[in-house]
Structure 1
Amino acid sequence: MKQNEKLIVIDACLLAGKIMMQSGAETYRAEDTMIRMAAACGFPNSQSYVTHTGIIFSLENLDPTQVVRINERGTNLEKIALVNDISRKITAGVIDAETGYAELKKLSKENLASPIWLQIIAASIASGCFLIMFRGIWADFLPAMLISGVGFSAFLLLHHHTKVKFFAESTASFVIGLLALLLVKNGLGHQLDIIVIASVMPLVPGLLITNAIRDLMAGHFLSGLSKGAEAFFTALAIGTGVAVVYSLFI
């Protein structure tokens, strides 16, 4: 195989792994996808090492090792499914590495996330449902939806401008706690604790915790611990914002 063809295979595997990690995939899933793609292109002995913040990949022992940095991470299950679909086509021989790489580059540039307004509405409805699940009263359903919508909007706005997730999450939880307290004191809400707990649920890193546990169980201790640490600091940020409200005004 020519050198430029090898480079296309390397770029395709690295881009597939990068998209998956940026979209919230498990570490072992990204590694398995990259190795299967390389094997389908004639490199059965490729090596892939994926962490929460970067990917190290090599086709053969004589080839130089390639490294990709993962700077942004989120949740986009649709992109993970589309990468899996492209990798399966390459593995089955339906498309070659060059065509797959072109599709992956197109996919990496697409914004498949839901519109901001839809994310806010979904967060609001989810919080209202969580309130009922936590045995809250129906009179607090709408207040929980309103508070969650405002808090989640604050999180998205701050995260977009500051890029500091801890600050955005702690500030959003502070806004949620403050609004909940104001509504309860003015008679528009009743169960303060349940309203606050339900309203911060869209900020809780549920997928991150799940992936951390799955990576630890699969033997990827470095990735599992790093994801667990990120989830811990997210929970700490949420708790800090609410605790500040409680300590200042209650």
Structure 2
Amino acid sequence: MTGSQISHVAMEIGIVLLSNGAETYRVDESMHRICMAMGACDTDIFVLPSNIILGITIGNGKHITRTRRIHARGIDLKKVEFINNLSRRVCYEDLSYSEILTEIHTINSSPPYPYYLQVLAFAFVAQMFSLFFGGTFQDSSIGFIIGFGIKLQMDFMARLEGNIFFINIVGGLIAATVALAASRLGLTSHVDAIIIGSIMTLVPGLSITNSIRDIIAGDYLSGIMKGVEALLIGAGIATGVAIPLSLLSPIWGV
């Protein structure tokens, strides 16, 4: 393969990994191994949560640099798994340039789980956490409704390209407001269990885990950036919950 083709394949694989929840060190290592397996002499890779810079040196001493900006990130570990498998095949099998790009496109364009399953899963998680934190079955049913509403709200605001901080503020506000309203109507006496169980669906667990793993792996800048992002999301959730607790609790006497 030419140097341009090698850098293109490595960059596309790195983009899919990073934009679907992979750790920074995994992206770095996968891109490096792919470049070396396809004939590069040396690589220089710099990965941030929102940017990838790739430089490779090929046999004739020519240096090629590519940079890509990540505009949208999500979590789809199925795509990460499939891209990992493709990366191993690229390293150990003789795949052509067109075959690799076709597989990358197939993986990246693969449909997620049906939307109704995503909404139901979100709602069931909120329901089970409400039970876990000491709520009754009736409390968990309220948590189910809150989880259902939060998922719809998050997707609606995401389509409007809303900021993740404000999306989580609104999610926390919905959880606390509905829980307080249920208590006001006499449907529950465990407002805390419902609120905590519902906002667990918003907690950025993967970001926190990846931040720690990146710091342990020596990618301090990426790890700190992901950690700060997780703290901002947590602050957004806390702000959203605090607004109705501060304003409605004294009025409703809950």
Same fold (TM > 0.5): yes
User: In structure 1, what is the equivalent of residue 50 of structure 2?
Assistant: 53
The match for 2:113 is 114
Instruction: Classify the secondary structure of the residue corresponding to 1:175.
Output: helix
Q: Which amino acid aligns with 1:78?
A: K
Structure 2 unaligned regions, length at least 5: 250-254
Structure 1 unpaired stretches of 5+: none
Partner of 1:170: 169
2:22 paired with 1:25: yes
1:65-112 deviation per Cα after TM superposition (whole angstroms, max 9, x unaligned): 21111111110001101111111111012413442123213333x143
When the two chains are superposed, the root-mean-square deviation of aligned CA atoms in Å is 1.4
Query: For residue 64 of structure 1, what is the aligned residue in structure 2?
Result: 64
Per-residue CA deviations over 1:172-201 (Å, capped at 9, x if unaligned) read 211111111101110122200110010111
Contact 1:90 1:97 in 2 (8 A): no
Distance in 2 between the 1:131 and 1:153 partners?
19
Aligned residues: 246
Amino acid at match of 1:192: V
Shift of 1:56: 0.7
Q: Which residue of 1 aligns with 2:91?
A: 91
Secondary structure at the counterpart of residue 202 of structure 1: coil
Paired AA for residue 178 in structure 2: L
- Contact between 1:46 and 1:59, CA under 8 Å: does it hold in 2? yes
Aligned equivalents of 2:94 and 2:64: distance in 1? 28
Q: CA deviation at 1:203?
A: 1.0
Evaluate the alpha carbon distance shift between residue 85 and residue 112 of structure 1 in structure 2; reply closer, same or farther with a 3 A threshold.
same
Q: What does the per-residue CA deviation read over 1:203-250, in whole Å, with 9 as the maximum and x for residues that have no partner?
A: 110101000000011010110011011111111111111000111111
| Alpha-carbon distance in structure 2 between the residues aligned to 1:131 and 1:229 | 27
TM-score by length of 1: 0.94
The equivalent residue for 2:198 is 199
- Structure 2 counterpart of 1:152: 151
Shift of 1:40: 0.9
Greater mean deviation of Cα atoms: 26-35 or 182-191? 182-191
Specify the SS of the correspondent of 2:64.
Answer: coil
**2:3, 2:64 within 8 Å by CA — same for their partners in 1?**
no
Whether the 8 Å contact between 1:90 and 1:96 is mirrored in structure 2 is: no
- Say if 2:15 and 2:70, in contact at 8 Å, map to a contact too: yes
1:52 Cα shift? 0.7
Structure 2 distance, partners of 1:44, 1:30, is: 19
Residue 39 in structure 1 maps to residue 40 in structure 2: no
- Equivalents in 2 of 1:242, 1:111: separation in Å? 36
Query: Are the aligned partners of 1:22 and 1:72 in contact in 2 as well (CA < 8 Å)?
Result: yes
Match of 1:14 in 2: 11
